[in-house]
Amino acid sequence: MGLRQTIDIPPVWLLGFLGLSYGVAQLWPVRVPGLSMLGLVLAALGLGLLLGAAAQMLARRTTVHPHGAPAVLVTGGLFRLSRNPIYLGDALILAGLTLWWDGAVALVLVPVFVGLITRRFIRPEEARLRAGFGPAAEAFMARTRRWI
């Protein structure tokens, strides 16, 4: 795997967006009672989704690397709720920490992050799933939403 594929991964993008969010929150803080606590809850939920989905994939002996070739099509557990629970977890972490930092203004970064992740990672992954699992992948994609 080349350097580009090694560093062009969602956690690196998430860290970059978190840095932007933190910067915006420092420049334009918006303090709303209760939003910080809601932010912690969202971030914890996101981390739980991310770790739970990764554990499911590892238990099924398939890759969690976004550029890797999947060995199995995981459709149960958290994957019944979302085709991309790890990316959903990333988005919740971004939204949650943004709120925790009093950066409500930076919430605009969340849909930008979702769009970037969809374009750079999800669509190519879906193509690999279709190529590797054919009708089973199509059926999974038809019955399970991409995000939620």
Condensed to tens digits (0 to 9), the pLDDT of residues 34-92 reads 999 999 999 999 999 999 999 999 999 999 999 999 999 999 999 999 999 999 999 99
- CB count within 10 Å of CB 40 equals 14
> What is the mean pLDDT of the segment spanning 121-135?
97
pLDDT score of 3 more than 60: no
pTM of the model: 0.95
Residue 134 CB neighbour total at 10 angstroms: 11
Beta carbons of 127 and 49 less than 8 angstroms apart? no
The DSSP result for 62-114, as a single string, is ---STTSPPSS---SGGGGT-S-HHHHHHHHHHHHHHHHTT-GGGGGHHHHHH
Residue range 104-108: average pLDDT?
96
Residue 6: pLDDT band (50, 70, 90) is low
All structural domains of the chain with their residue ranges: 33-143
